[in-house]
């Protein structure tokens, strides 16, 4: 410290220079201490910033939403299947916005003057794969060509001037719902390595091909960063695994060698079933419905329709509210003790009794397995009554419309006729038409990551002598339960 003492006049002249020197030293010392303090403070702040930056870098950084323009599609086909199956692609392909290619085994000369080519992806002829071995007994070596669609698609688009975030692969009979695909992929950081899809509905298929393999028919999404690396090593993997059956198996095993596992999304549907798919479609999860496969191998999903016209009819609802399609809401009628389920855009079912919610959500076994090995399904099921007149009354979507004023969406469902006798007072068979009112479902990314089922109300406007039932679908209140009211 600098201490100054009082001095006498006789000493003033002799000590004045000494005092001045002390003051200079004090000022210099103070400046030095201040500089040291500032340097230490700056170092601490920089250290704190570095630590904060470290932890922030380990967290999800905000990303702009994925758009359809960020996705490139690789569709596997053949000259045999393409002429018929291209009609499915017309339902969902947006030629002005989408990028991709349909891979066939050899040139399709008949398509040179095809009048609908502008509505479809371009046709690409796959490269020769004769140098690769294929040893699966009674299998189809086209599996190698289909696996290499990944490699060929990436080579074709990875130098594009437009950003590519995701590569999505499917079969020519895979029907995607583009808006739902985009929103599903928006949950993920495309700069990381992601392999996204779903397994089969059959335990046997999963045990045979792997419980963590994305089945190609249901669709496979691979982030561009991962796809670029996969394309470099895929041929070497194909050479090591000649004994595998399908193209999706080869993609899967190569990703395993890269250390990447499956991110399961239940909205991708392989549909390894046959017959009536009503039970699966009316028990879909709360995740967006992304894809349909094997449509030609199941019954038309709407009565009195062909397979193609039924899917076309479904897309009339998809266009108005894609994220709500097949979303299940349940409400209970306490007056008649009915259990009512709304699989939006598809079907309404009324059970003439009260069922606990956990039982309602079990999948009705209206279908049969793709291959009957008796190993069961990956979900819980409930048997349907052998007598059709004892089953729930089913109403199928007839039309969907939107009110431009308030945005209300009205979907109308008509009863599928069954020649059954019933009580005209208490039976749900007296209902001829169900009208469902809702607003467009538009959850943000946080809600998509943690979805919640919506609630259903029986509206007091139900009229026409009890022949019309009107329902409302809405967000549940914070602490609202979906349960049987006493």
Give pLDDT, residue 9: 42
pLDDT, tens only, 408-421: 999 999 999 889 99
Q: Give the model's confidence band at 159: pLDDT under 50 very low, under 70 low, under 90 confident, else very high.
A: confident
My answer on whether 225 and 328 are in the same domain is: no
Give pLDDT, residue 280: 96
| Low-confidence winner among 1-5, 104-108, 430-434, 457-461 (lowest mean pLDDT) | 1-5
Q: Give the model's confidence band at 6: pLDDT under 50 very low, under 70 low, under 90 confident, else very high.
A: very low
pLDDT for 271 beyond 80: yes
Give the domain-ending residue among 237, 270, 303. 270
Higher-pLDDT residue of 154 and 34 is: 154
Residue 175 gets which letter from DSSP? E
264-273 mean pLDDT = 96
Instruction: Report whether 370 contacts 273 (CB < 8 A).
Output: yes
Q: Give the model's confidence band at 7: pLDDT under 50 very low, under 70 low, under 90 confident, else very high.
A: very low
Give pLDDT, residue 54: 35
Instruction: Give the CATH number, domain containing residue 197.
Output: 3.90.550.50
Residue 439 gets which letter from DSSP? E
Please report whether residue 58 resides in a domain: no
My answer on whether 337 and 413 are in the same domain is: yes
Beta carbons within 8 Å of 112's beta carbon, 6+ residues apart: none
My answer on whether 124 and 262 are in the same domain is: yes
Q: How far apart are CA 183 and CA 68, in angstroms?
A: 9
Please report whether residue 292 resides in a domain: no
Token code pair at residue 112: 């040179």
pLDDT, tens only, 56-91: 443 445 568 899 999 999 999 999 999 999 999 999
My answer on whether 222 and 334 are in the same domain is: no
Instruction: Report whether 69 contacts 97 (CB < 8 A).
Output: yes
Give pLDDT, residue 374: 66
Instruction: Report whether 377 contacts 273 (CB < 8 A).
Output: no
My answer on whether 253 and 361 are in the same domain is: no
My answer on whether 121 and 207 are in the same domain is: yes
Instruction: Report whether 365 contacts 383 (CB < 8 A).
Output: yes
Please report whether residue 390 resides in a domain: yes
Which residue range is the domain that position 122 belongs to?
68-270
Give the domain-ending residue among 270, 288, 309. 270
Please report whether residue 144 resides in a domain: yes
Partners of 298 in beta bridges: 275
Instruction: Report whether 394 contacts 349 (CB < 8 A).
Output: yes
Work out the number of other CB atoms within 10 angstroms of the CB of residue 429.
Answer: 18
Give pLDDT, residue 183: 97
Please report whether residue 26 resides in a domain: no
Q: Give the model's confidence band at 25: pLDDT under 50 very low, under 70 low, under 90 confident, else very high.
A: low
Q: Give the model's confidence band at 52: pLDDT under 50 very low, under 70 low, under 90 confident, else very high.
A: very low
Beta carbons within 8 Å of 6's beta carbon, 6+ residues apart: none
SS (H, E, C) 62-76: CCCCCCHHHEEEEEE
309-318 mean pLDDT = 97
Token code pair at residue 346: 């598809």
Residue 260 gets which letter from DSSP? -
Q: What percent of the chain has pLDDT over 70?
A: 85
Domain count, the chain: 2
Give pLDDT, residue 41: 59
Give pLDDT, residue 351: 97
My answer on whether 254 and 339 are in the same domain is: no
| Low-confidence winner among 34-43, 233-242, 319-328, 340-349 (lowest mean pLDDT) | 34-43
pLDDT for 16 beyond 60: no
pTM, 2 dp: 0.85
DSSP, collapsed to helix, strand or coil, labels residue 235 as helix
My answer on whether 243 and 353 are in the same domain is: no
Give pLDDT, residue 36: 60
Closest CA to 292 of 218, 199, 343: 218
Please report whether residue 307 resides in a domain: no
Token code pair at residue 57: 């870098």
193-218 mean pLDDT = 95
SS (H, E, C) 238-296: HHHCCCCCCHHHHHHHHHHHCCCCCEECCCCCCCCEEECCHHHHCCCCCCCCCEECCHH
My answer on whether 330 and 422 are in the same domain is: yes
Closest CA to 165 of 265, 69, 264: 69
Please report whether residue 486 resides in a domain: no
Mean pLDDT of the chain: 89
My answer on whether 262 and 350 are in the same domain is: no
Please report whether residue 7 resides in a domain: no
pLDDT for 110 beyond 90: no
pLDDT, tens only, 330-370: 999 999 999 999 999 999 999 999 999 999 999 999 999 98
My answer on whether 362 and 227 are in the same domain is: no
Q: What percent of the chain has pLDDT over 90?
A: 77
Give the domain-ending residue among 203, 236, 270. 270
């Amino acid at each position: 410290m600098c201490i100054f003492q009082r001095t006498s006049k006789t000493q003033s002249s002799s000590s004045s220079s000494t005092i001045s020197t002390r003051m200079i030293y004090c000022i210099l010392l103070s400046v030095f201490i201040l500089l040291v303090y500032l340097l230490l403070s700056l170092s601490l702040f920089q250290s704190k910033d570095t630590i904060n930056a470290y932890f922030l870098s380990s967290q999800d950084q905000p990303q702009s939403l994925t758009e359809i323009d960020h996705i490139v599609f690789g569709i596997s086909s053949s000259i045999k299947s393409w002429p018929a199956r291209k009609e499915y692609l017309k339902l969902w392909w947006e030629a002005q916005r989408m990028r991709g290619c349909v891979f066939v085994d050899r040139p399709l000369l008949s398509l040179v003057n095809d009048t609908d080519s502008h509505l479809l992806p371009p046709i690409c002829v796959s490269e020769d794969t004769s140098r690769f071995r294929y040893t699966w007994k009674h299998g189809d070596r086209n599996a190698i060509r289909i696996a290499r669609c990944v490699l060929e698609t990436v080579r074709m688009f990875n130098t594009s001037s437009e950003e590519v975030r995701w590569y999505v692969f499917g079969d020519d009979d895979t029907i995607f719902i583009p808006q739902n695909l985009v929103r599903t992929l928006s949950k993920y950081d495309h700069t990381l390595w992601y392999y996204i899809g779903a397994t089969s509905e059959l335990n046997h298929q999963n045990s045979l091909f792997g419980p963590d393999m994305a089945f190609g028919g249901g669709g496979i999404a691979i982030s561009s960063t991962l796809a670029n690396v996969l394309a470099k090593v895929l041929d070497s993997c194909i050479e090591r695994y000649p004994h595998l059956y399908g193209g999706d198996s080869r993609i899967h095993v190569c990703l395993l060698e890269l250390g990447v596992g499956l991110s399961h999304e239940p909205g991708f549907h392989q549909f390894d079933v046959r017959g009536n798919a009503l039970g699966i479609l009316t028990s879909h999860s709360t995740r967006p419905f992304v894809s349909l496969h094997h449509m030609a191998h199941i019954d038309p999903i709407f009565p009195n329709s062909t397979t193609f016209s039924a899917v076309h009819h479904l897309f009339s609802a998809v266009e108005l509210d894609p994220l709500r399609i097949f979303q299940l809401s349940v409400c209970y009628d306490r007056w008649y003790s009915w259990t009512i389920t709304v699989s939006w855009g598809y079907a309404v079912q009324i059970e003439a009794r009260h069922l606990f919610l956990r039982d309602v959500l079990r999948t009705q076994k209206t279908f049969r397995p793709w291959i009957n090995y008796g190993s069961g399904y990956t979900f819980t099921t409930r048997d349907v009554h052998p007598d059709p007149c004892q089953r729930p009354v089913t109403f199928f979507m007839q039309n969907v419309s939107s009110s431009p004023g308030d945005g209300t969406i009205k979907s109308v469902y008509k009863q599928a006729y069954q020649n059954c006798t019933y009580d005209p007072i208490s039976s749900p068979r007296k209902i001829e038409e169900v009208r469902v009112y809702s607003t467009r479902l538009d959850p943000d990314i946080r809600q998509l990551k943690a979805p919640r089922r919506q609630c259903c109300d029986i509206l007091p406007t139900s009229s026409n002598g009890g022949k019309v039932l009107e329902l409302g679908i809405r967000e549940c209140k914070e602490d609202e339960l979906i349960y049987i009211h006493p």
